Amino acid sequence: MSVQLRARSAQLRARSAPLRARTIVLTLCSALLATAATALPTRADAAAPSAAAWEVRGPHGSPTAVVALDPADGHATLAVRRDGATVLEPSPVGLVTEQADFSRGLTYAGRSDRTVTEHYTSPTGKSRMRVVHMTEARFRFRTAAGARLDLVTRVAPDGVAYRYVLPGADGNVLRETSAFTLPAGSNALLGGYRADNELRFSRYDSAATAPTGAYMMQALFQTPGGYALIAESDVDGSYAGAQLTHTADSPTYGLSLWNDEPVQTSGALITPWRALVTGDLATVTESTFVDDLAPASRVRDTSWIKPGPALWTWLAGGKEAGQSLAAQEKYVDYATERGWPYEVVDAGWYFKTDAWDVVDPDWQTDSWMPELVRYAAAKGVGIHVWLHYSLLTDPAEREKWLSTLESWGVKGVKIDFMDSESQERMRWYDEVLESTARHHLMVNFHGSTIPKGIQRTWPQVMTMEGVGGEEKRTNTPEQLASLPFTRNVIGSMDFTPGAFHRPYRPNVASDAGELGLTVLYESGIQNLSGTPESYDARPEARRYLEQLPARWEETRLLAGDPGRSAVLARRAADGRWFIGGTFTGPAHTVDVPVRLGAGRWLVETVTDGPSGLVRETHAVRGGDILAVPVTAEGGFAAIACRAHVGRTTCEN
pLDDT tens track for 625-648: 999 999 999 999 999 999 999 899
Which position has the higher pLDDT, 111 or 321? Answer: 111
Please give the Cα distance from 207 to 221 (Å, whole number): 7
With beta carbons less than 8 A apart as the criterion, state whether 95 and 164 touch: yes
Helix (H) or strand (E) holding 46, with range, is none
Quick check: helix, strand or coil at residue 319?
helix
170: Cβ–Cβ under 8 A, 6 or more apart, which residues? 97, 98, 99, 100, 147, 265, 269
Please give the Cα distance from 220 to 188 (Å, whole number): 6
With beta carbons less than 8 A apart as the criterion, state whether 368 and 351 touch: no
Q: Is the pLDDT of residue 45 over 70?
A: no
Mean pLDDT, rounded, for 197-221: 98
Q: Is the pLDDT of residue 14 over 90?
A: no
Quick check: helix, strand or coil at residue 290?
helix
Angle between helices 369-378 and 325-338 (to 10 degrees): 20
What does the pLDDT look like over 256-269, one tens digit per residue?
A: 999 999 999 999 99
Mean pLDDT, rounded, for 191-197: 97
**Among the listed ranges 43-52, 268-277, 287-296, 432-441, which one has the minimum average pLDDT value?**
43-52
Is residue 419 left, alpha or beta, with left meaning phi > 0 and alpha meaning psi from -120 to 50? left
End-to-end CA distance of the chain: 27
Mean pLDDT, rounded, for 477-506: 97
Q: Given pLDDT bands bounded at 50, 70 and 90, which one contains residue 352? A: confident
Helix (H) or strand (E) holding 593, with range, is strand 588-593
Q: Is 546 a catalytic residue?
A: no
Please give the Cα distance from 390 to 27 (Å, whole number): 46
What does the pLDDT look like over 436-464, one tens digit per residue?
A: 999 999 999 999 999 999 999 999 999 99
Backbone angles phi, psi at 553, to 5 degrees: -90, -25
State the average pLDDT for the chain. 92
Backbone angles phi, psi at 269, to 5 degrees: -140, 140
Secondary structure E strands in 234-321: 242-246, 252-257, 269-270, 273-279, 308-312
| Half-sphere exposure of residue 421: CA atoms within 13 angstroms, side-chain side | 24
Q: What is the dihedral of CA 195, 197, 198, 202, to 10 degrees?
A: 120
Q: What is the model's pLDDT at position 356?
A: 61
With beta carbons less than 8 A apart as the criterion, state whether 555 and 565 touch: no
Q: Is 416 a catalytic residue?
A: yes
Residues pairing with 139 in the sheet = 111, 151
Q: Is the pLDDT of residue 41 over 90?
A: no
Exposure string for 374-392, b = 16+ CB within 10 A, e = fewer: ebbeeeebbbbbbbbbebb
Active-site entry in 333, 471, 554, 591 = 471
Q: Is the dihedral of CA 12, 634, 482, 130 positive or negative?
A: negative
Q: Tell me the DSSP string of 51-117.
A: --EEEEE-STT--EEEEEE-TTT--EEEEEEETTEEEEEEEEE-EEESS-BTTSS-EEEEEEEEEEE
Domain ranges of the chain: 1-21+467-492+503-522+549-652, 33-293
Full-model pTM: 0.92
Quick check: helix, strand or coil at residue 403?
helix
Exposure string for 3-25, b = 16+ CB within 10 A, e = fewer: bebeeebeebbeebeeeeeeeee
Mean pLDDT, rounded, for 237-244: 98
Q: Given pLDDT bands bounded at 50, 70 and 90, which one contains residue 4? A: very low
| Half-sphere exposure of residue 11: CA atoms within 13 angstroms, side-chain side | 6
Q: What is the model's pLDDT at position 353?
A: 64
Q: What is the model's pLDDT at position 143?
A: 98
Q: What's the Cα-to-Cα distance from 557 to each of 36, 107, 266, 281, 383, rounded to whole Å? A: 29, 44, 45, 8, 33
Q: What is the model's pLDDT at position 321?
A: 76
Best CA proximity match to 449, nearest among 465, 437, 472: 465
Which residue pairs, CB below 8 angstroms and at least 24 apart, start in 313-317? 313/343, 313/344, 313/345, 313/346, 314/344, 314/346, 314/347, 314/471, 314/529, 315/470, 315/471, 315/496, 315/499, 315/501, 315/502, 315/529, 315/530, 315/531, 316/529, 316/530, 316/531, 316/532, 317/531
Q: In what order do the strands lie in the sheet with 554-561?
A: 554-561, 565-571, 577-583, 635-642, 600-609, 612-621
Q: In what order do the strands lie in the sheet with 213-215?
A: 53-57, 64-69, 76-82, 85-93, 179-181, 252-257, 242-246, 213-215
Compute and round to an integer the Cα radius of gyration of the chain: 25
Please give the Cα distance from 141 to 569 (Å, whole number): 45
Q: Is the pLDDT of residue 118 over 50?
A: yes
Fold category of 1-21+467-492+503-522+549-652 in CATH: Immunoglobulin-like (2.60.40)
Q: Is the pLDDT of residue 492 over 70?
A: yes
Q: Is the pLDDT of residue 44 over 50?
A: no
Active-site entry in 416, 465, 540, 633 = 416
Best CA proximity match to 229, nearest among 161, 295, 297: 161
Q: Is the pLDDT of residue 237 over 70?
A: yes
Please give the Cα distance from 7 to 5 (Å, whole number): 6
Secondary structure E strands in 148-272: 148-156, 159-166, 173-176, 179-181, 187-191, 201-204, 213-215, 219-223, 226-233, 242-246, 252-257, 269-270
**Among the listed ranges 18-32, 555-569, 593-607, which one has the minimum average pLDDT value?**
18-32
Q: Is the pLDDT of residue 33 over 80?
A: no
Q: Is the dihedral of CA 166, 170, 175, 178 positive or negative?
A: negative
Query: Which CATH code for domain 33-293?
Result: 2.70.98.10
Q: Tell me the DSSP string of 477-528.
A: HHHHTTGGGTGGGSS-B------TT-TT-TTTT-HHHHHHHHHHS--SEEEE
**Among the listed ranges 134-143, 308-317, 538-547, which one has the minimum average pLDDT value?**
308-317
Q: Is the dihedral of CA 205, 208, 211, 215 positive or negative?
A: positive
Best CA proximity match to 584, nearest among 633, 631, 630, 628: 633
With beta carbons less than 8 A apart as the criterion, state whether 435 and 402 touch: yes
Mean pLDDT, rounded, for 59-73: 96
